[in-house]
Structure 1
Amino acid sequence: MKFINGTNRNQLPLFASSIDDAIAQDNEIRLIVLFVDSLKLADFGFTFDFVENGRPAYHPSDLLKLFIYGYLNRMRSSRTLEKECSRNIELMWLLKGLVPDHNNIANFRKNNPKAIARIFRATVKLAAHFELIGGALVAGDSTKLRAQNSKKNNFNPNKIERHIAYIDARLEEYNSALAKEDGDVLEKQILVKKIKKHSIQKQKYIGYQNTIDTTGVTQISTSDPDSRQIMTRNNISEVAYTVQTTEDALHNIPIDFKVTNENDSKAMGGMLRRTKTILGHNNFTAIYDKGYHTGSEFDYANRLGVDVLVAIPCVSAHAPDTAFDVEYFKYNTETDTYTCPANETLTTNGNWYAKKNGKSITQMKHYKTSACLTCKLFAKCTKNAKGRLIERSQYADLIYQNKIRIENNYEIYPRRQAIVEHPYGVIKRQWDFYYIMTKKTIKNASADVGLILSAYNLRRIFNLIDHNLLKEYLKRLSQYFAILTALFNAFYTLFYFENEKMAFIKKNFNCSLNPIYLLTD
């Protein structure tokens, strides 16, 4: 029976081809090279000044190409990338046979979080050049990426208290047993060893509690200090980071990101400010879900001049009869009063009261009426024995304006989920990047997220733009930077030698540095 056979491994080909011939001209790896070569990496913040002694360093462009290729092909581990460099023909071509050590690979990512964030900005600019950024409608949201820190190694005050209580119970038990022990030396040694072990553990937890009390942090993570235990979905919590992103609606391309360890309630204002800077104008509409519905953030958006559509959360507390919920109380702006469903008027004394919600403080006015106590509908309206009390926030007008905008743009808001979930679906489901690869500080996490989103943007650009057109643009861009670099080097060399010449004249001829002397050879 005949089968298709391969070539003899020990036989050399008659016409040996170069490794470049093994890489197809339409392979996207060539686009990665052109993209990185089109960037002036020294301006991005990558380190180029290395000491002359010792082994030479790898060029930042080579390591950046390696990481972009790795993230586009679902490889983030430095050890995996090191292994692939010696067996993956595409990486052999990409790095020209270089095989960086996994420590060098990992340190490049760890040491360049700001530069990597600028690489992400470069992908946004590339998308904008090809008109892939609309700039009229954006959507903001967040996703949780699990940190390199287990729940076991995350502590809050309640958890610390439970651990200390458990240890105290065990210590009392062991001390009682030790007091009753009368002759068995081995048993005494075992009890003493257990008491010492638990005492050390107790001191560790007391140290954690002191740190929380003195620094004001709410949690302590021992493996990744900046990570926090956060609710992810359906009352399931993970020790994770929150990644805030802003996506443009035209092609679902992220234009901004920020890694935090906090929830969404205070994130909208800062992300809108950054979006305004990136787009260069405030003539856009931003869509957010109900997690961003915060009065102070509406105030921030209003000061930026940005229209936002934020989903309205459900009422947190209902009246005994839902027909008497606060939304059915009509506010009169001219008289600064409320009218209840029973047609009674609730007035205010005009004083503002500070109400603390977490770390934030909001000013409130109170509205009430004496008619409550004689009202026949009292039992349906409130359980408060003193009558119904309405609180009005200092941001109530802005919250109401958001409600009107949603009612007037009911066809726009439903697009939010399709816009923001597209990148998350690709990154977390297709690429399996549901966790942070790096550990130790939020800066390292930002570097990982920056590479993830840079790879995602490049994938979108590669899919949406004709490769030949993209190649031509990137080639011209790289040639432009090459010319600028050559001119800079020429001027620098001329300036250096002229300074050397002036110093030589001053030293040997003891004359002033009048330009007339520079005219002579």
Structure 2
Amino acid sequence: MAYRHGDRNQLGLFPSSIDDYVAKDDPVRAYDAFVEALDFQALGIDLDEDQVGPPEYDPKAMLKLLVYGYSYGVRSSRKLEREVHHNLSFIWLVGGLKPDHKTIAEYRRSHKKALRAVLTQSVRMCLRLGLVEGNTLFLDGTKIRGNASIKNTWTQERCEREMRRIEERVAAIVAESERLDAAEEGQGSLVALAKELEKEDVLKARVKEILGGLAKGGSLNTTDRECGRFSSMQGSHAGYNGQVVVDEKHGLIVSADAVREGNDLGQFAVQVKKAEEALGRRCETACADAGYASTEELEKIDREGVKVIVPSQRQAGKEEKGPFDKSRFRYDWEKDVYICPEGQELVRRSRKENEIAYRIRYRKTCLRCRYYGICTTSKRGREVDRLKNEEVKERLEEQYRESTSQAIYRKRKEKAELPFGHIKRNLGVQAFLLRGRAGAEAEMGLLTSGFNIRRMMTLLGTERLVRVLGEAG
């Protein structure tokens, strides 16, 4: 069987313009139109054509390169440099410009704030196009590794352990020096010990500096001082907690963030308010999983008139509640006491920082109870803690159980978890390239903006999106 062979030397009639190679419905045209429609002054990017000095690469072309690259999982500055030489879509997008990897990396590094703000402008575009409503918002978070090794993460315990090792080593060096000096042995050995002692002193000063920068109970990575320390099935790693807030209508992202906290408990109010700021209006409903179930955080949004749909930790727990679980104890508002399943009263005994402790009135009551040893094993009797805002927690739990709330909560996985599934699975993003929180936020801005553009193309079609963005610009 004969093969088909190519011929590089064959003459042909090719279009004279590179634009003729890019179809009218090619997705790259949507990315081009999107960046052209951005307000660069609001982004803080100067477009002065008359500035003094050697000509720079067009800021618009550089931003197009980053937004388009991140949308397809091409984030490395070296890979982006390769694309503008060999990939027709990239060549068309930047108009044939050939920035090297250093130029690309420097542009990204010096425009972190602008890259983060691109998402906000994409949300405003979606609002004008009727693709975002802002009525119901869904929150989700995921851990993304930072550009730093966990080996460079220090905790209070590690610092104290290292200080003890240094002290022991210094004592050993001093003792060895005294022995050599007494024996009048070779000067070379003493010089080597002096150098080692100096090395340990430098390390000791460094550990003291790290200790000074440690927050109570926290950690500090010497490579990226703003990243957090997370644990997962793959072990511990340094990184950031990526946050997104998604609109219900079409699953478009309205805000994104990167924080160092390892859990989502303190993020609910902060992230909802950031989303509302981007939308320019207050939402009606905010929904998240039990990872956000901090009553203090939920109350901040609840008292603004927003319906909060978040299960409490006990509602999310799959274990069957025992007969003497706290939920089996009834609170009597008038008497300010808890009534146990056996009808005995637990009265207020002490106040903690955020809780009030209720204990059985007479300890003998518990000791004589037939369920002693099952309900409690304490000789002081059964104790129940009540949050200062327990009534808020109970009301939110009841609100979560409503049928209308359950209908909304069922949409959460579909809406809130899709963006991170796309970013991690489809784009292969497992770690940030830029260091520092500002760098992580900039990359989150690019990744989420790219997600929104792809969704907009799906909803409107490429050619229509290009047209409406051209009209908006």
Match of 2:229 in 1: 229
Match of 1:143 in 2: 142
Match of 1:395 in 2: 389
Distance 2:275 2:446 in 1: 20
- Counterpart AA for 1:73: Y
Distance 1:304 1:331 in 2: 27
Cα distance change on mapping 1:283 and 1:52 into 2, 3 Å: closer
- Counterpart AA for 2:442: A
Q: How many pairs does the alignment contain?
A: 461
Which sections of structure 2, spanning at least 5 residues, go unmatched?
A: none
How far the C-alpha of 1:14 sits from its partner, in A, is 4.6
- Counterpart AA for 2:113: K
Cα distance change on mapping 1:14 and 1:142 into 2, 3 Å: closer
Q: How does 1:84-483 map to 2 (within 5 A)?
A: 84-181=83-180, 182=183, 183-212=185-214, 218-231=218-231, 233-234=232-233, 236-262=235-261, 263-279=263-279, 281-282=281-282, 284-314=284-314, 322-348=322-348, 353-355=351-353, 362=354, 364-375=355-366, 376=369, 377-409=371-403, 410-439=406-435, 441-478=436-473
- Counterpart AA for 2:426: Q
- Counterpart AA for 1:194: E
Cα distance change on mapping 1:373 and 1:50 into 2, 3 Å: farther
How far the C-alpha of 1:452 sits from its partner, in A, is 0.8
Kept in 2, the 8 Å contact 1:110–1:447? The answer is no
- Counterpart AA for 1:379: G
How far the C-alpha of 1:85 sits from its partner, in A, is 1.7
How far the C-alpha of 1:134 sits from its partner, in A, is 4.8
SS at match of 1:223: coil
Match of 1:3 in 2: 3
SS at match of 1:86: helix
- Counterpart AA for 2:108: R
Distance 1:136 1:341 in 2: 42
Kept in 2, the 8 Å contact 1:372–1:378? The answer is no
Distance 2:4 2:456 in 1: 39
Distance 1:381 1:128 in 2: 55
SS at match of 1:148: coil
SS at match of 1:335: coil
Cα distance change on mapping 1:238 and 1:346 into 2, 3 Å: same
Distance 2:169 2:235 in 1: 31
- Counterpart AA for 1:229: R
How far the C-alpha of 1:229 sits from its partner, in A, is 0.8
Kept in 1, the 8 Å contact 2:293–2:311? The answer is yes
- Counterpart AA for 1:447: A
Kept in 1, the 8 Å contact 2:15–2:21? The answer is no
How far the C-alpha of 1:175 sits from its partner, in A, is 3.3
Match of 1:500 in 2: none
Root-mean-square deviation (CA), in Å? 2.7
Kept in 1, the 8 Å contact 2:85–2:98? The answer is yes
Distance 1:413 1:53 in 2: 56
- Structure whose alpha-carbon radius of gyration is higher: 1
Q: TM-score, normalised by structure 1?
A: 0.81
How far the C-alpha of 1:252 sits from its partner, in A, is 2.5
Kept in 1, the 8 Å contact 2:155–2:219? The answer is yes
Cα distance change on mapping 1:206 and 1:51 into 2, 3 Å: farther
Cα distance change on mapping 1:235 and 1:15 into 2, 3 Å: closer
SS at match of 1:341: coil
Cα distance change on mapping 1:322 and 1:124 into 2, 3 Å: same
Distance 1:157 1:78 in 2: 37
SS at match of 1:347: strand
How far the C-alpha of 1:447 sits from its partner, in A, is 0.8
Cα distance change on mapping 1:148 and 1:217 into 2, 3 Å: farther
Match of 1:507 in 2: none
Q: CA-to-partner distance for each residue in 1:52-94, whole Å, 9 max, x for gaps?
A: 3321222221111111121122111222212322222222222
Distance 1:83 1:223 in 2: 28
% same residue: 28
How far the C-alpha of 1:164 sits from its partner, in A, is 1.8
Which sections of structure 1, spanning at least 5 residues, go unmatched?
A: 356-361, 479-521
Q: CA-to-partner distance for each residue in 1:274-307, whole Å, 9 max, x for gaps?
A: 3334445545322222221112112202222111
How far the C-alpha of 1:12 sits from its partner, in A, is 5.1
Distance 1:61 1:135 in 2: 29
* 64-73 vs 285-294, which moves further: 285-294
Distance 1:52 1:408 in 2: 61
Distance 1:56 1:372 in 2: 84
Distance 2:462 2:191 in 1: 74
Q: How does 1:484-499 map to 2 (within 5 A)?
A: none
Cα distance change on mapping 1:154 and 1:311 into 2, 3 Å: same
Kept in 2, the 8 Å contact 1:273–1:304? The answer is no
Match of 1:64 in 2: 63
Distance 2:381 2:49 in 1: 74
SS at match of 1:348: strand
Q: TM-score, normalised by structure 2?
A: 0.89
Q: CA-to-partner distance for each residue in 1:458-477, whole Å, 9 max, x for gaps?
A: 11112222222212212222
Distance 1:316 1:475 in 2: 47
Cα distance change on mapping 1:343 and 1:235 into 2, 3 Å: farther
Distance 1:354 1:152 in 2: 38
- Counterpart AA for 2:99: P
Kept in 1, the 8 Å contact 2:35–2:60? The answer is yes
Kept in 1, the 8 Å contact 2:247–2:254? The answer is yes
* 170-179 vs 290-299, which moves further: 170-179
Q: How does 1:39-50 map to 2 (within 5 A)?
A: 39-49=38-48
Distance 2:206 2:2 in 1: 72
How far the C-alpha of 1:104 sits from its partner, in A, is 2.8
Distance 1:266 1:162 in 2: 31
Q: CA-to-partner distance for each residue in 1:243-302, whole Å, 9 max, x for gaps?
A: 121112333222111221113111101222233344455453222222211121122022
SS at match of 1:141: strand
Distance 1:13 1:285 in 2: 61
Cα distance change on mapping 1:281 and 1:373 into 2, 3 Å: farther
Cα distance change on mapping 1:2 and 1:315 into 2, 3 Å: closer
- Counterpart AA for 2:292: Y
